[in-house]
Structures are given as C-alpha cells and as structure tokens.
Amino acid sequence: MSGRHLTLLALSLLGAPWAEARAQAPAARSLHPSEPPGSELSIAIMTMGVGAEVWERFGHNAIVVTDRRAGTSMAYNYGMFSFRQENFLLRFLQGRMWYWMAAFPTEDDVPRYMAAGRSVWLQELNLSPAQRARLRDDLETNARPENRFYRYDYYRDNCSTRVRDAIDRVLNGAIRAQMSGPASGSYRFHTLRLNTNNLPLYTGLDLVLGQGADVPVTRWQEMFLPLKLREYLREVRVPDSSGALVPLVSSERALYESRKYPVPDAPPGWAAGYLVLGIALGGLFWWGGVAGRRSGGARRVLLFGGTAWALITGLAGTILVGLWGLTDHLIASRNENALQVTIFALGLAVVLPFAGAERPAATRVARALAVLVGALSLLGLLLKVLPAFDQVNGQMLALFVPANLGLMLGSLAWAREGN
C-alpha cells in the first residue's frame, strides 16, 4: 500500500469527511442538476494546536474546501513564510514581513501536524451553497501569485485573522457584529502564557512589548489566536434558508489530540522570582563596590559582573529604542521598559572596567553613568503612580530596578574608595 493510501486510510479512521470522500469515491462525481451552485462544496475550519518552534507557539489554522464533484479537498493556508525569502532578516527587524497564502491537498497537510505532535480539530461551517461558492472563489483568487502576498502583523493581520476575515466577508460581517464584546485577555496576556516553556524568550517578549500590548481588546481582535477563533465560532449564529438563527458551526470533531505541548490558561505569576533575581544581582554589585578595595573577588564582581549587566541592558535598550522609533513594530512603541534598559548603560559598560584609583577620570564617568542608569530605573517605578504609565511591566520592574540600583550604589561606593 502506498504512503498516500496509508494517509487516506488514517484520516478515514479519524473521521475526516474529506478523507472519506477521497477514499470511497476518488473519482469526480456528478450532482443532481437541480442542486444550486455550491451544493457540491463543504467548508470547514481546521485548527492546529501549538508546537515546539517559536513560530508554532500561537497555533495555526486553515480553511478547508471539499469539492465532492471534483473529488478534491484543499486546505487554504495563510501562514506561509520562508527564511530564504529575500531580505527576510531585515524585513523581520523592520516589522515589514511578507507572508503568503497557498493551498495544499488536505490529506497531505494534516499528517504533518500530527507527526509534529500538534492537535488538529475540524469545524464544519453552516454556510449556504451561494456562500460556499463565493468563499471558494475568493480563496482561489487570493491564492493567485499576484494576490497571495500580504504584509504580516503578529496581532492585527496574521494567518488567523485572514481566515476570520474570509469567513466574515461571505457572512456580511456577522462574526464581527457578534464578537464586539470584551476579550478574556490582552495581547501581552496571551503572548506570555503561550511562551512559558522558554524563560529567556518569555522575558524578552515581556520586555519588548509596549503599552499597546495591554490595551483592552475585543473578542473579534482576540481571534488573532487560532484557538480563540475556534472557540468563538461556536457562539456565532447565522440565518438559515427559513431565516431562523442557527449555529455557524454545524459539526466539530478532533482529528488528533495531543498533550505534548500544554499551555496554561493564564501567564504565571513570576514577579517574585524576578524580584529575587534582581535583589541578588543588585546585592552582589553593591557588595562588589563596598568590599572591592579589600577583596579581589568583590572587585571582579563589580567591574566584570557590572560591566556584563550594563552591556546586556544597554544592548536591550538600544533594541527597544530601535523597535520604537525605527521600525513598524507598533506593538513595541511607547515602551516604559526603555527606562529600565537604557542606551546609557552601554557607556557604563565601556568605562566601568577602567574605573579605579589609577584612572580617576574613568571613575568619575562611570559614577555619573551608574547614577543616571539607576535614577532612570527608579523613575520608571515612580511614574507608575500616574495614569498615563499603565503598562503591565511589574515583572520587569521587579528584575531591573533592584539590579540597577545595586549597580549604582556599588559604583558610588567604589568611586568613594578610589578617591
């Protein structure tokens, strides 16, 4: 038996309707002449769970169009990108990535996700024949080479929002009208909870997301997540041929369920852990400055450990400023964390290794820069009393404020000893 036949058999056993159609009647078949155009079609949303890779953590989805007359089932996928694309890295940094839509035979597409340990669900939609035909035509037009590319945005225009919008267009805005209520979480909320498996990435994402990530969103906007789109489609009602309201989702089934990549319902409360780390770093830097004249180990903690910290935070601050002012990453703008990781720390990283009695000029510059870095960090904390500074960055404050203040106090103590 060929690999293709094995795939068809597996999907048939899982209950996939397109697999049954292909396995039982692979040849095209005619419909009754009285059936209106579109009767030969069925439309479903296929949702895939999270995966291991960074770009798989938000899940994925596609629109499945099964044509019983032609004997085909195609999955229209808006999540296509390539690292080999021209200027991919530059476009990624600028926030100007190009994604594209492509169609794949469904029986070839599903096993890839199953093999990766990702859940796959199918929701068949209750659309009229005319709506099915229009959607099929829209998707085929969109898949043409001249139409398939689009400017990707992680939250506002991605593979899931494109699926949402395609369905909503044939429903004349019914999904948007019914999903205008408040969502269960912000962009930051979902971004963090979906990346708890990778602490460095989790921390970096919390650091670079600006105030826009905390603005309340509607359920319509929350459908940037494929799993939220799947959840909310169950609530949508559409009129049937008699005008009565019926569920948009006529049937739903799991083709494959996996527990390989569990995701929490909410981000973890790690502020205490960040605070412990921040206090530990700040305490070490302070001790290094106070005891540095009497202990070579303490001196190295301040001069080399403090330099490493200043270099890391200075580079992070440069990235934040660049994302805010020089790119199209709107979600990274108006970022209060720019006060916690500042470009001035880069200067401190340069001069701090040379501070000491033998280099009084370097010591004075290091002291001034350390005070500036510490003062800006403290300012970021104090500004939280003002309504305009409402970014949800408590975890970052817990980490950076004590560490930066400890580096400031250690540098001042070192400078006094040097004098």
Reported as a single tens digit per residue, the pLDDT across 107-120 is: 988 999 999 999 99
Query: What per-residue string of b and e applies to 309-333 under the rule 16 or more CB within 10 Å gives b?
Result: bbbebbebbbbbbebbeeeebbbbe
Strand 98-105 to strand 120-125: parallel, antiparallel, or no bridges (unpaired)? unpaired
The amino acid at residue 169 is R
pLDDT above 70 for 417:
no
Which pLDDT does position 10 carry in this prediction?
A: 37
Q: E strands within 33-135?
A: 41-48, 60-67, 72-80, 98-105, 120-125
> Taking all residues of the chain, what is their mean pLDDT, rounded to a whole number?
90
pLDDT above 70 for 17:
no
pLDDT above 70 for 6:
no
Candidates 379, 403, 399, 376; CA nearest to 389 is 379
Are the beta carbons of 76 and 65 closer than 8 angstroms? yes
Contacting residues for 388 by C-beta, under 8 A, at least 6 apart: none
Which pLDDT does position 184 carry in this prediction?
A: 87
- Helix residue ranges per DSSP H, 171-305: 174-178, 187-193, 199-208, 219-222, 226-233, 271-291, 296-300
Long-range CB pairs of 253-257 (<8 Å, 24+ gap) are: 253/15, 253/121, 253/122, 254/119, 254/120, 254/121, 254/122, 255/11, 255/14, 255/15, 255/16, 255/110, 255/114, 255/120, 255/121, 255/122, 256/14, 256/110, 256/113, 256/114, 256/118, 256/119, 256/120, 257/119
Contacting residues for 82 by C-beta, under 8 A, at least 6 apart: 88
Using pLDDT thresholds of 50, 70 and 90, give the confidence band for residue 86.
Answer: confident
| CB-count exposure of residue 173 (10 Å: 0-12, 13-18, 19+) | exposed
Contacting residues for 41 by C-beta, under 8 A, at least 6 apart: 65, 66, 67, 68, 129, 132, 133, 136
Distances (CA, A) of 355 to 50, 56, 128, 360, 374: 49, 46, 76, 7, 18
User: How many C-beta neighbours within 10 Å does residue 9 have?
Assistant: 13
Which pLDDT does position 294 carry in this prediction?
A: 78
Residues across the chain = 419
pLDDT above 60 for 208:
yes
Distance of CA 103 to the CA centre of its chain: 24
Candidates 97, 18, 47, 22; CA nearest to 254 is 47
pLDDT above 70 for 357:
no
d(CA 348, CA 28): 72
Largest CA distance in the chain: 98
Query: Does residue 61 sit in helix, strand or coil?
Result: strand
Which pLDDT does position 2 carry in this prediction?
A: 38
Which pLDDT does position 131 carry in this prediction?
A: 98
Query: What per-residue string of b and e applies to 198-219 under the rule 16 or more CB within 10 Å gives b?
Result: eeeebbebbbbbbbbbbeebeb
Strand 120-125 to strand 237-239: parallel, antiparallel, or no bridges (unpaired)? unpaired
Query: What per-residue string of b and e applies to 278-300 under the rule 16 or more CB within 10 Å gives b?
Result: bbebbebbbbbbbbbbeeeebbe
Which pLDDT does position 79 carry in this prediction?
A: 94
d(CA 143, CA 151): 15
Query: Does residue 295 sit in helix, strand or coil?
Result: coil
Retrieve residue 411's tokens: 């540098």
Q: What percent of the chain has pLDDT over 90?
A: 77
How much is the average pLDDT of 218-242? 97
Distances (CA, A) of 169 to 32, 162, 173, 174: 28, 11, 6, 8
Using pLDDT thresholds of 50, 70 and 90, give the confidence band for residue 94.
Answer: confident
Are the beta carbons of 77 and 109 closer than 8 angstroms? yes
pLDDT above 90 for 35:
no
